Structure 1
């Protein structure tokens, strides 16, 4: 990755057309604590030298173009650019690698949570139903569920202990326009396939004869619920 030198623009006098009231500047900010004010923002751009070259440009050219645009929109603004370096071949989305490399607090916190979850997965013998990442882990091995299979499992899990009839499952999990036209037999087929993938833990999805299905939690079942909504804003 090439190095782009960090530079800043000196402040200049803004024209009346570019001046904005504080309320207007901050109207898109979320949850600004009382007694504070917004002083700027960070824009993380995920792209490496090869992708930039393939697009007919370079990291330096992109940085300079963004700086020029910022100066045009707000002449009083000051800018500073830094390049994020990562080991060659590092996996993950470019923008996530950039956020971690530049020590973005929310990215660091998320990374710690992921590492903690992975450590728990390695230590947990049994069933992990990870709603936050739409995955099922059995005895430390990931199980490939179809979209509908996981949706079915999730629906039952979130209503733990309540028997759900087939009609409710059909109306909740299938929408108009779906390729598959469901009926009660469809639910039975999906449940049978889900149980086959659950293996020796198949009885966590129980049949209530003549009514429907119910999720019963066992001591060897761990459920990871979805995290709170991201505070990021656009």
Structure 2
């Protein structure tokens, strides 16, 4: 994360969406305990012998929200600065926009407070154990052991689901119609022999267990299904060649 300071309304920002928050934080700078007019709002929980020298205002609006309102972030910042100087001409202002990578997760309030080095946010981050993202390990279709690995974990396929996947894999590049799947994978003595529509149900269940890799089983509309190998798919066949090739 980084910061971008605002000098003029025409300031150009980075293409990464800036994310900030709408929240006024309690001042970290304490306030004087001298008597003030009871009608004026007072800061709470501050030690004696100190005085307030300013405040921080976080505004939660990203570039897209500003654009939908017909504005740019720079214009919003400048108008807020002008408001302060209009109320208190002697006030000094400094504005910064918190930048985060595109698609950065988390709440705006947390992203921006960390970017602006908010002490409380930094303390919370130190107390929160880091969660390492699990790298994508791809798909391993292990025909020799009758198992499917997704990013290193064994997928919970039933015997019939693996047989269905294996049938398509061993005929890579050929579209298999539903009738062939029924006649090849279900014997006459099976308790339940599906029809062509229930084959679609079996394929949907298989795809749901493939997760992010579901598109390796491709639907060919009006015909059937085909296995599509991707760069992140590997097949362990042992000594089982494709029955469609000599």
Q: Using structure 1 for the length normalisation, give the TM-score.
A: 0.44
Q: Which of the pair is proportionally richer in helix?
A: 1
- Which entry has the higher C-alpha Rg, 1 or 2? 2
Q: Using structure 2 for the length normalisation, give the TM-score.
A: 0.42
